[in-house]
Amino acid sequence: MTAVRLRGPRSTPSDAPPNSPWGHVVRAAAALAAGMGVGRFVYTPILPLMNTQAGLSADAGAHLATANYVGYLVGALAGILVPALVRSRVALRGSLLVLTAGLAAMPLTHSTGVWLVLRLLAGVASALIFVVAVSSLLGHLRQHPAHLPGWGFGGVGAGIALSGLLVLVLRSAADWRAAWWAAAVLAAVLGAVSWNLRPEPPPAATGESPTPGAGPSAPRTHRWFAVLCASYTLEGVGYIIAGTFLVAAIGQGSPGWTGSGAWVLVGVAAVPSSALWARLGRRWSGPDVLLAALVLQAIGIALPALVGGVAAALISAMLFGATFIGISTIALATGADLRFPRSVALLTAGYSVGQILGPLLVAPLLQDGYRQALILASLVVLAAAAAAGVLRIGFPRHLTAARRAVPVPRPASAETGPMRAERP
């Protein structure tokens, strides 16, 4: 997943614009639901249908997932290298159209090569929708409480829940083709809701003083940033294995409805997760919260492989949904604490590379089912947790303390400075 910063200046009634910000939150959430929840993650509940009905092998399924993640990396890099895309309504609308058309085209062929191209393009479109929507969400809500962007990011979970519910309903009455077409219709509806989303306004020059902790002492944080980057890259590997194959793995050892039902639960749990993990940051440091979230996610990923049964599947879904968006939020905020140059871009790149490697690493393990893949994913996430534990031991907490001690300035006008990753 790409840049997510949840913290902005605290707002007061006098700072807030007269119009309610919730309309903007809804439009941004709809864009994220279309681009990520449907465009990117609907493949997870549809994959078992394609395995049994379209003759898609487990190995080919892994390659389709990888193609989507390669496209996502390309789209994310485009947003970094061409900043104008982030503030472009044309880029948002064009990506929504490409995404919807790509979903609708999946059932029109049985060619794995064509599917690879379609999922690649869907990845590019998803990434561009994400960067435009998130930048717009944060850019226009600087003067509002931080929980508002958090609920906007919950659109990812809402999209997962809606698309998973759609596939769950269709699996008993239709085939894999109908599932893709229904996903295209859902993406079109969500795209229509987000169609008039206002992009991020152009940056304004500010007279802010340099960030506390920057300057001569900044190089001392480089080694801790390297540890954070390693942890977040490993999370990208482990999380995406579960995110791609969790439904198929659960479906092998549980009743037919359980896999798709668990995926709906993943989405439901993800909706409030970003806001809830942010609240935990009031009491604990970023590395503390990151370690806890990674351990919980590792447990959730391993449960279907080690225990099996409906109860384990549902608990796994809840733990996975409650952590995967929150981990991104925590890691990016911790990178901001370290004041490392271009921390968000570098962390996002590492995470994206991890997502590309994940399905490729487990492809040889999928011949006998998904159990070994989930166990490997859990071990990789535990390795990420171990790196977070190292970060926790040596994390330069004085930087976070200094940041909390600095008063947050109120904007004197509608023009505000860059978003900060401030804690609540």
Q: Determine contact, residues 129/95, Cβ cutoff 8 Å.
A: yes
Asked whether 247 and 365 are in contact (CB, 8 A), the reply is: no
Name the nearest CA neighbour of 155 among 182, 137, 179. Answer: 137
Among 15-19, 110-114, 218-222, 268-272, which is the least confidently predicted range? 15-19
Angle at 4 between CA 348 and CA 240, to 5 degrees: 50
Which is higher by pLDDT, 258 or 11? 258
**C-alpha to C-alpha distance for 423 and 7, rounded to whole angstroms:** 6
* Residue 160: CA count within 13 A, CB half-sphere: 30
Residue type, 110: H
For 275-330, what is each residue's pLDDT tens digit?
A: 788 778 667 777 888 999 999 999 999 998 888 778 888 898 899 999 988 898 78
Residue 424 has pLDDT above 60, yes or no: no
Compute the distance between CA of residue 260 and CA of residue 310 in angstroms, rounded to an integer.
12
Contact 148, 274 (CB under 8 A): no
- 260 close to 45: Cβ distance less than 8 angstroms: yes
Confidence of residue 12 (pLDDT cuts 50, 70, 90): very low
Higher local confidence (pLDDT), 370 or 405: 370
Torsion angle in degrees (nearest 10) through CA of 222, 223, 227, 232: 10
- Answer yes or no: is pLDDT of 208 > 70: no
Judged by phi (left if over 0) then psi (alpha if -120 to 50, else beta), residue 215 lies in left
Mean of pLDDT values over 152-176: 86
Q: Are 263 and 317 in contact (CB under 8 A)?
A: yes
Please, which pLDDT band fits residue 363 given cuts at 50, 70 and 90? confident
SS3 212: coil
Q: What is the pLDDT of residue 145?
A: 59
The predicted structure's pLDDT at residue 151: 77
Q: How distant is the alpha carbon of residue 332 from its chain centre?
A: 12
Average pLDDT over residues 11-33: 67
Euclidean distance between CA atoms 295 and 378, whole angstroms: 9
| Domains observed in the chain | 20-201 (1.20.1250.20), 219-405 (1.20.1250.20)
Q: Please answer whether residues 343 and 336 qualify as being in contact, where contact means their C-beta atoms are separated by less than 8 angstroms.
A: yes
**Which of 182, 158, 154, 155 has the alpha carbon at shortest distance from 168?**
182
CA distance 29 to 347: 23
DSSP 3-state of 359: helix
As a whole number of Å, the end-to-end CA separation of the chain is 23
**Half-sphere exposure at residue 138, Cβ-oriented, CA atoms within 13 angstroms:** 23
Where would I find the H helices in 37-88?
43-53, 58-81
Q: What single-letter amino acid sits at 174? A: A
> Across all residues in the chain, what is the average pLDDT?
79
Residue 135 pLDDT more than 80?
A: no
What is the percentage of the chain residues whose pLDDT exceeds 90? Answer: 31
209-264: per-residue pLDDT in tens?
A: 444 444 444 446 677 888 999 999 999 999 989 888 887 788 776 666 677 788 88
Find the range with the poorest average confidence among 89-103, 304-318, 330-344, 369-383. Answer: 330-344
Q: Exposed, middle or buried: residue 117 (CB in 10 Å: 0-12, 13-18, 19+)?
A: middle
Identity at 387, one-letter amino acid code? A
Per-residue pLDDT, 282? 67
DSSP, res 15: T
- Lowest-pLDDT range of 72-81, 99-108, 140-149, 241-250: 140-149
